[in-house]
Structures are given as structure tokens and as C-alpha cells.
Amino acid sequence: MSEPKKLFVKTYGCQMNVYDSERMVSALGGQGYVETDTPEGADMILLNTCHIREKAAEKIYSELGRYKPFKAANPDLKIGVAGCVAQAEGEEIIRRQPMVDLVVGPQAYHRLPEMESKIGQVKAQVDTEFPAEDKFDHLPRGPKARRAPSAFLTVQEGCDKFCAFCVVPYTRGAEVSRSVEQILAEAHDLVERGVVEINLLGQNVNAYHGTHDGREWGLAQLIRELAKIDELKRIRFTTSHPNDMDDDLIAAHGDCDKLMPYLHLPVQAGSDKVLKAMNRKHTAAEYLALIERIRAARPDIALSGDFIVGFPGETEEDFQATLDLCREVRYGQAYSFKYSPRPGTPAADRTHVDEAEKNDRLARLQALLSQHQAEFQNSMVGKTLPVLLEKPGRNPGQMIGKSEFLHAVHMDASPDQVGKIVQAKVLWSERNSLAAELI
């Protein structure tokens, strides 16, 4: 029996890329590959890329350059580029890095086994199509190995919103939802393998519209159906668009006990002028009214958001409107970035805000967001919270888990409690975590 081949996968970007990488590893398992943690000695290196951040493509070319010595030492080493940079760059990757054997977009990675089998027989292969067949129907099911207690499950891909700063509609395509049957089957499979928390993924997850028995289901109906799985204890979803938070999904936050009280709902800016320039199709007042309705349904909900500062045309007055929105919402957690142009997007050719001004605004925004996050974490001190224990910590006898509000929580506990939801009293708050003791 031949030894398994080693596959090294480096994943960039969002949780959906993490999910996609898992599926790619599973798909290539049929070709005799097993995953390894290091590129040294690998038989195949696969970069699963993200195109959201600045100079994403150049970073991938730089990373590929690091692997030239590996290829020189082992001419049989296979190198592939997958994901959104692959979708955006296509043949250009092969032109700039001839050592690359295959380039595959995020909608075609179910074809990886076929592409891998042809390496050496034909020239480097590129597949950045949006195939008619559903990739999820063509991916093999992996063995029933135990899983970490928390897992991602993609339910929707693509985006039709066309925000002026975003490449997702161009790299991931139009909004497509998986069928209810597919999702339920995968959820049951995950639970059988030890998963107790599922995070439903989508570029615009609350735009989910699947089918079941000939009827269309929204995300709220899907969540309620998943909640019927006894061994599944927690449900989350990300990332959402404010315009797709319908009444039923808001109600689900109040009436579905398994849906965690945490919602990531990006707004990007607090100025209506900037929101219009971004093509967000909502105002700051509409966003705030939505937050009020969500909190009415679930008063203890923790909110998270995304912000872009220095968008083309943003003035200091516009930026102050963003700070005002943050003060009103008081996010438990938030992510903020300087605007950086993405080639091919509508905002890329507009007049940009001075870089020094962007840096200053980002620093001021992050200081405010950090203050609110610290205040929210400090409010947990003294409370008893249900914590899902997930893995050992850095110190002997320490375990790390996750609160309902997505806080990292560390405490002394036994490793055999991984996958258990325990009651823990919060002792103190640290910068990005909570310290607790078992009750």
C-alpha cells in the first residue's frame, strides 16, 4: 500500500474560505492526499486566497515566490492557487508564476481532483468558470472522523448588492442558496461527528432562500428546522446585510433558544452621503431603527459591525457621523479598515482621501470601538455564563471556550470536557478574552 501524499493548504480571509479549504482537503482525499501543517515535504501546496484586503494579489505572488526553492528541490511538487484571487487573476497567475500547476475559482473547486490528475499530462490548468452544476453535489463526503465542537456550514454564496468598494460580486458571483435538504444532511453529518455549534455562512447569509418540498424557505425557517436537531446546541450565522434582516429573522432571535444572542451586521459608515456613494441602499437612520427592532426582540444581544474609513469623498463631518452611530449602537465587537481601492469596482477610480487623514480617522474610530468592547466585556464580570469548551489553553489544565456572545473564555477544566457546555462565573476581563471559573 502506497504512502499517502501530503497536502499543505494555506487559507486566507473569511470563514467561508476556511469552510472551502476543508472541502478541498476532502475532495483531494480521493486522490490519496492527507493534510499536513507545513509546506516542507508536501506533495501539493494549495493557496486558498481572498481578494478583500489591499494588494491581495501581490501578497499571493510574494507567497508563491517563497515556494520556488521547494519546487526546485522537488520538481514533482504540485502548486495550486484557489479562491477569489484565482478568480480575479486567472491566467495572469500562470504568466507571472509559471511554476503554478493549477488555478481554480471558488465556484469550481469540486473539479480539483480532475485537475490534479491531469498535472504533468497537460499544461497548467485554469478553471474560473461559474459552472452550471452545483459544486456541493459533486464533492465527496469525508470519513466520519470526529470534529471540533464548533463548525462552519455554507448555506449561501455570492452577492447581488454591488457595494461600490467590494469585489465579491465579481469573484463569487450572484447570490445562490443551497437546498434545505443539502444543508440538513450536512448538519446531521456534522452533529454525528461531535459538532454541537454550527455557524451558517454566506457572503450575504440572510439573503438565503432555499427550497424544501417545492416551497421557498428563508434563513429563519432554516434556523428553526436546524434547532430541531437535539444534539445541536448552538446556531450562529454570518455575514448579514441590513436590507435582508426580515421580520421573521428578527423574531427568531427572540423565540429560538439555540440561536445565539450575537449578530454581525455591517453598516460601513454613519453618513448618509457616504452610504449612498457606497451603494449600500440604506440610511443611517434605517440601520439604527433596525437595531432597535432587533434589541426589542432580544434585549441582551451583542452586536458586531464592519466599518470603512476614508472612503472616497468622506469628509470630517461624514466621519463624525460614523462616530456618532457607534456611540449610539455601542458594539460589543467591531472590525474597521481604511478604504483601499479594488480594481474593477466603481469606487476604485474616484478621488481618494489623503492617506494620513485615513490613518488618523482609523485610529480615532478604533479607540472608540475598543472602549465599547472593553465596557461590554467588563459587564460580564461576576456573571455566570454558559461556555462551550473547545480546546486546551496555553497553560496546563486550562481550557478555552466560547460564550454565547462569542467571547473567548479561559478557565481551569479537564480536556475530557471538550464539546461540553458548562456554567462558568466570569472573574475578570482581559483585552480580548474573559477569565472564568467552573461552577
Q: Residue 41 CB: number of other CB atoms within 10 A?
A: 12
Distance in angstroms (rounded) separating the CA atoms of residues 341 and 56: 11
Asked if 305 contacts 272 with a C-beta cutoff of 8 angstroms, the reply is: no
Secondary structure element (H or E) that encloses residue 220, with its range: helix 219-226
Ramachandran bin of 83, using left for φ above 0, alpha for ψ from -120 to 50, beta for the remaining angles:
left
Distance in angstroms (rounded) separating the CA atoms of residues 328 and 138: 47
pLDDT at 57: 81
Distance in angstroms (rounded) separating the CA atoms of residues 180 and 216: 9
**Grid coordinates belonging to 10:** 494555506
Query: Hunting for cell 454591488 — which residue is that?
Result: 162
pLDDT at 111: 86
41-53 mean pLDDT:
89
Q: Letter for the amino acid at 328?
A: E
- Dihedral through CA 214, CA 218, CA 219, CA 220, nearest 10? -110
pLDDT tens track for 54-105: 677 888 999 999 999 999 999 999 999 998 888 888 889 999 999 999 999 8
| Pick from 12-26, 319-333, 368-382: least confident | 12-26
Who wins on pLDDT, 173 or 435? 435
Distance in angstroms (rounded) separating the CA atoms of residues 402 and 150: 10
Distance in angstroms (rounded) separating the CA atoms of residues 8 and 35: 6
In sequence order, what DSSP letters do the residues of 297-315 get, joined into one string?
Answer: H-TT-EEEEEEEES-TT--
Three-state DSSP state, 79: strand
Asked if 265 contacts 222 with a C-beta cutoff of 8 angstroms, the reply is: no
Distance in angstroms (rounded) separating the CA atoms of residues 437 and 432: 17
Asked if 437 contacts 427 with a C-beta cutoff of 8 angstroms, the reply is: yes
pLDDT at 39: 94
State the pLDDT confidence band at 1, using cuts at 50, 70 and 90: low
Residue ranges of domains in the chain, CATH in brackets: 5-127 (3.40.50.12160), 145-260 (3.30.750.210), 261-379 (3.30.750.200), 384-438 (2.40.50.140)
pLDDT tens track for 255-271: 999 999 999 999 999 99
14 is in an annotated binding site: yes
State the pLDDT confidence band at 121, using cuts at 50, 70 and 90: confident
pLDDT tens track for 146-203: 678 999 999 999 999 999 999 888 888 889 999 999 999 999 999 999 999 999 999 9
**Grid coordinates belonging to 223:** 434556523
Distance in angstroms (rounded) separating the CA atoms of residues 315 and 273: 10
**Grid coordinates belonging to 327:** 456611540
Q: How far is CA 437 from CA 8, 391, 393, 411, 421, in A?
A: 38, 16, 14, 5, 13
Query: Hunting for cell 474616484 — which residue is that?
Result: 350
To the nearest whole number, what is the mean pLDDT of the chain? Answer: 92
Beta pairing, strands 150-154 & 33-36? unpaired
Q: How far is CA 301 from CA 140, 406, 434, in A?
A: 38, 11, 18
Q: Residue 415 CB: number of other CB atoms within 10 A?
A: 11
Q: Look at the pTM and tell me if it is higher than 0.75.
A: yes
pLDDT at 139: 55
Residue 374: phi and psi, rounded to 5, are: -65, -40
Distance in angstroms (rounded) separating the CA atoms of residues 63 and 59: 6
256 is in an annotated binding site: no
Q: Letter for the amino acid at 249?
A: L
Instruction: Show Cβ contacts of residue 122 under 8 Å, excluding neighbours closer than 6 positions.
Output: none
Query: Hunting for cell 476532502 — which residue is that?
Result: 26
In sequence order, what DSSP letters do the residues of 315-374 get, joined into one string?
Answer: -HHHHHHHHHHHHHH--SEEEEEE----TTSGGGGSPPPPHHHHHHHHHHHHHHHHHHHH
pLDDT tens track for 267-321: 999 999 999 999 999 999 999 999 999 999 999 999 999 999 999 999 999 999 9
326 is in an annotated binding site: no
pLDDT tens track for 223-238: 999 999 999 999 999 9
9-26 mean pLDDT:
88
159 is in an annotated binding site: yes
Instruction: State the DSSP code for 136.
Output: H
State the pLDDT confidence band at 136, using cuts at 50, 70 and 90: low
111-136 mean pLDDT:
76
| Pick from 15-24, 155-164, 400-409: least confident | 15-24
